[in-house]
Amino acid sequence: MRSESLQVALDVRRDSGKPPASLKVLVAEDSALIRERLAGLLSELPQVEIVGEASDGSSALRLFFACRPRAVILDIQMPGPNGIEVLRQIKAEDRGCVVIILTSYQQPEFRDRCAQAGADFFFHKSTEFEKVLLVLNKLIATELPEGSEA
């Protein structure tokens, strides 16, 4: 979203200042093919631990509250609460969680609604898929101790 969004999200520490050993990520996407593609991409980052995969909004929220990930990759169009509602609930609970919207919607009104709900990033699936890795690499470089592995 805004260039300073990642830095703001990174500045919010949830622990006692002690860096975690891995970056915990939740993937919430209704398409099994997209979830598989994301899992494949994330497997290229040994410091990333996928703590859950959800195919609907209710499961995404359940996993978020159970696993407390540092980052969430979230689709807008999902059964149950949609991604924007899930985003609102995540940010109400944990403003420091980095939420990456990965969607097929390019319309400005969706970008605006996600920004208003607190999304840190908004990427289009067909043209910006790999940007998810750039964001996670930045989080890893900023938050994880050097040489740590998942």
Contact 42, 85 (CB under 8 A): no
What is the band of 20 on the pLDDT scale with cuts at 50, 70, 90?
low
Q: Domain containing 123 — which CATH number?
A: 3.40.50.2300
Give the HSE-up count for residue 120: Cα atoms under 13 Å, Cβ half-sphere. 26
Q: Phi then psi for 36, rounded to 5 degrees? A: -65, -40
Q: How far apart are CA 136 and CA 150, in angstroms?
A: 14
Whether residue 107 is contained in a domain is answered as yes
- pLDDT value at 149 more than 70: no
Whether residue 17 is contained in a domain is answered as no
Q: What mean pLDDT comes out for the span 96-109?
A: 94
Whether residue 96 is contained in a domain is answered as yes
| Alpha-helical regions (H) of the chain | 5-11, 32-42, 57-67, 83-93, 108-117, 125-128, 131-143
Q: How far apart are CA 148 and CA 140, in angstroms?
A: 10
Whether residue 103 is contained in a domain is answered as yes
- pLDDT value at 146 more than 70: no
Q: What mean pLDDT comes out for the span 44-62?
A: 95
Radius of gyration (Cα) for the chain, nearest Å?
A: 14
Q: What percent of the chain has pLDDT over 90?
A: 74
State the residue range of the domain holding 85: 5-11+22-143
Q: What mean pLDDT comes out for the span 32-50?
A: 92
Closest CA to 51 of 34, 70, 32, 36: 70
Whether residue 117 is contained in a domain is answered as yes
CA distances for 103 relative to 12, 18, 67, 76, 126, angstroms: 26, 33, 23, 6, 9
Whether residue 150 is contained in a domain is answered as no
Q: Please report the pLDDT score of residue 143 as a whole number.
A: 82
Q: How many domains does the chain have?
A: 1
Q: What mean pLDDT comes out for the span 77-99?
A: 96
